[in-house]
């Protein structure tokens, strides 16, 4: 007996469609022509039968865990961890200053391994479980790896994680504590990426790589459904998204695109891709016909990417839905990180703080419309990279613990 899958894949670049029972990763036609120093073409988009799903209300879709819009068969395949459904906070003032529009903070560091990546790992892991695959490999700048490691731990699966040796120690620690196999490579994230693909080809390990496995986009889109509900069944006006490989931003677009296709929203929100000027390979190339690589150098390790793996899809989304892109300096990212923590009680890692830095940039240039609703997507916890913010703080020298001494130092 054969079952027809409820979704199919469509190539972002040539438009060919594929049956997911036959093709798991990239469009074979486009992938054949890919070369090492250019962003790959052939990332697949997951397409559902929107006309029939349209018959249901949002609430009925939600009551089934959005299973109709996910590439898995059963919600029970998901890990028994609280993934997604993260809080959305309203920020009235920044440093006691009113802002023109409303600012909303979506805190995805609240996921089990403290980053947005859990949304993707959960779907990939559930899919693997349904296919009775037990070993999953990923290349990672740190968070995708710590996420996959944690999700595999919850699912009794084996995670194999390849990272550049320079990844922040907290992320490496997580990977080991979750019991995954850690393979640091003497090289960059791009080197780790290539090695993991070879491992998949030659050793058969299921591959979670971002911009390679199309299911990561489907996992990452779920934030759109949450925002839609949290904002009272409407989309925000703007969303600031930190961008490295361009998968999170494509996920956010894909989620809202699903809602558009279901007739639940009428207009795509304006999505702002935020990068570091030290790693701006998407923002800088948007209006170029040829991709020109610049070597990355930024404190924001999670968005430090030379060849963005999902460049073409991200560019496609940004251009077809009138998105925007900016790059900000590393010192602006650090200042944004401090400002965010101090004003909200939410401590974000540099890549995530970049999104807030993007918003501050818009605010400074009066680009937040009056009455507009602006979401900042915070993708990872500040505890993941303490070293990055060391120059922002100074831990005071200890004092002798008596009250007179205290009064002398803190006299007001």
Ligand X SMILES: *Cc1c(COP(=O)(O)O)cnc(C)c1O
Q: What is the contact surface with ligand X in residues (CB under 6 A)?
A: 115-117, 143, 210, 242-249, 302-303, 349, 351-352, 379-380
Residue 235 Cβ, how far from ligand X at the closest point, in Å? 20
Pair 245, 351: CB distance under 8 Å: no
Helix (H, G, I), strand (E, B) or coil at 98: strand
> Phi and psi for 177 in degrees, rounded to 5?
-65, -30
Comparing CB distances to ligand X, the nearer of 117 and 129 is 117
Comparing CB distances to Zn ion, the nearer of 26 and 223 is 26
Q: Which of ligand X, Zn ion, none is residue 301 near (CB under 5 to 8 Å by kind)? A: none
Q: Which of Zn ion, ligand X, none is residue 176 near (CB under 5 to 8 Å by kind)? A: none
Comparing CB distances to ligand X, the nearer of 250 and 374 is 250
| Sequential DSSP letters for 349-390 | -HHHHHHHHHHHHHHHTT-SPTT-EEEEEE-BBGGG-SGGGG
Q: Which of Zn ion, ligand X, none is residue 145 near (CB under 5 to 8 Å by kind)? A: none
CA dist list (Å): 144 to 232, 349, 407: 31, 14, 48
> Phi and psi for 393 in degrees, rounded to 5?
-130, 165
Residue 273 Cβ, how far from ligand X at the closest point, in Å? 8
| DSSP single-letter state for residue 211 | T
Comparing CB distances to ligand X, the nearer of 264 and 282 is 282
Instruction: Give the span between the Cα atoms of 283 and 292, in whole angstroms.
Output: 11
Residue 14 Cβ, how far from Zn ion at the closest point, in Å? 3
Comparing CB distances to ligand X, the nearer of 174 and 302 is 302
Residue 194 Cβ, how far from ligand X at the closest point, in Å? 16
Residue 314 Cβ, how far from Zn ion at the closest point, in Å? 16
- Sign of the dihedral through C-alpha 119, 124, 130, 136: negative
Residue 28 Cβ, how far from Zn ion at the closest point, in Å? 8
- Sign of the dihedral through C-alpha 180, 182, 183, 184: positive
Burial class (CB in 10 A: 0-12, 13-18, 19+), 23: middle
Q: Which of Zn ion, ligand X, none is residue 349 near (CB under 5 to 8 Å by kind)? A: ligand X
Comparing CB distances to ligand X, the nearer of 152 and 303 is 303
Q: Which of ligand X, Zn ion, none is residue 276 near (CB under 5 to 8 Å by kind)? A: none
Q: Which of Zn ion, ligand X, none is residue 14 near (CB under 5 to 8 Å by kind)? A: Zn ion
Q: Which of ligand X, Zn ion, none is residue 332 near (CB under 5 to 8 Å by kind)? A: none
Residue 411 Cβ, how far from ligand X at the closest point, in Å? 41
Comparing CB distances to Zn ion, the nearer of 11 and 162 is 11
Q: Which of ligand X, Zn ion, none is residue 210 near (CB under 5 to 8 Å by kind)? A: ligand X
Residues 357-369 as b/e (b if ≥16 CB within 10 A, e otherwise) read bbbbbbbeeebbe
Judged by the rule CB under 5 A, the positions of this chain that interact with Zn ion are 11, 13-14, 27, 29-30, 42
Helix (H, G, I), strand (E, B) or coil at 69: helix
Comparing CB distances to ligand X, the nearer of 148 and 264 is 148
Q: Where are the alpha helices (DSSP H) in 94-142?
A: 118-130
Comparing CB distances to Zn ion, the nearer of 41 and 221 is 41
Residues 159-173 as b/e (b if ≥16 CB within 10 A, e otherwise) read bbbbbbeebbebbbe
Instruction: Give the span between the Cα atoms of 342 and 280, in whole angstroms.
Output: 27
Helix (H, G, I), strand (E, B) or coil at 180: coil
Residue number with the shortest CB distance to ligand X? 380
Distance spanning both ends of the chain, measured CA to CA: 78
Q: Which of Zn ion, ligand X, none is residue 42 near (CB under 5 to 8 Å by kind)? A: Zn ion
> Phi and psi for 275 in degrees, rounded to 5?
-125, 170
Q: Which of Zn ion, ligand X, none is residue 282 near (CB under 5 to 8 Å by kind)? A: none
Residue 355 Cβ, how far from ligand X at the closest point, in Å? 8
Comparing CB distances to Zn ion, the nearer of 25 and 178 is 25
Residue 31 Cβ, how far from Zn ion at the closest point, in Å? 8
Q: Which residues contact 241 (CB under 8 A, 6 or more apart)?
A: 248, 249, 252, 271, 272, 273, 274, 355, 377
Residue 331 Cβ, how far from Zn ion at the closest point, in Å? 41
């Amino acid at each position: 007996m054969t079952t027809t899958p409820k979704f199919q894949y469509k190539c972002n670049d040539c438009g060919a469609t594929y049956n997911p029972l036959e093709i798991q990763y990239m469009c074979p036609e486009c992938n054949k022509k890919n070369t090492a120093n250019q962003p790959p073409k052939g990332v697949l988009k997951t397409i559902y039968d929107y006309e029939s799903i349209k018959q249901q209300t949002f609430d009925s879709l939600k009551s089934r865990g959005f299973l109709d819009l996910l590439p898995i068969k059963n919600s029970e395949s998901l890990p028994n961890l609280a993934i997604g459904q993260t809080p959305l906070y309203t920020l009235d003032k920044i440093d006691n200053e009113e802002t023109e529009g409303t600012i909303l903070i979506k805190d995805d560091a609240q996921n089990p391994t403290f980053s947005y990546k859990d949304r993707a790992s959960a779907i990939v892991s559930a899919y693997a479980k349904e296919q009775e695959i037990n070993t999953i490999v990923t290349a990672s700048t740190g968070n995708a790896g710590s996420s996959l490691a944690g999700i595999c731990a919850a699912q009794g699966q084996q995670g194999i994680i390849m990272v550049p040796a320079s990844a922040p120690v907290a992320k490496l620690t997580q990977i080991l504590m979750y019991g995954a196999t850690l393979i640091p490579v003497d090289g960059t994230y791009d080197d780790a990426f290539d090695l993991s693909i070879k491992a998949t080809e030659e050793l058969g390990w299921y591959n979670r790589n971002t911009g390679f496995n199309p299911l990561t986009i489907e996992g990452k889109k779920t934030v759109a459904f949450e925002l839609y509900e949290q904002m009272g069944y409407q989309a925000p006006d703007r969303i600031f998204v930190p961008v490295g490989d361009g998968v999170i931003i494509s996920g956010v677009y894909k989620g809202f695109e699903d809602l558009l296709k279901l007739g639940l929203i009428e207009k795509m929100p304006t999505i702002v891709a935020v990068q570091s000027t030290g790693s701006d390979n998407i923002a800088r190339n948007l209006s170029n016909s040829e991709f020109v690589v610049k070597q990355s150098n930024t404190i924001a390790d999670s968005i430090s990417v030379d060849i963005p793996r999902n460049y073409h899809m991200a560019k496609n989304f940004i251009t077809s839905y009138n998105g925007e892109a900016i790059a900000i300096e590393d010192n602006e990212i650090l200042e944004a990180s401090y400002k965010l923590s101090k004003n909200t009680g939410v401590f974000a890692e540099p890549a995530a703080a970049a999104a807030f830095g993007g918003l501050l940039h818009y605010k400074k240039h009066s680009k937040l419309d009056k009455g507009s609703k602006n979401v900042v997507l915070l993708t990872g916890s500040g505890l993941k990279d303490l070293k990055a913010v060391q120059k922002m703080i100074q831990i005071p020298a200890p004092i002798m613990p008596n009250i007179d001494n205290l009064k002398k130092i803190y006299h007001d």
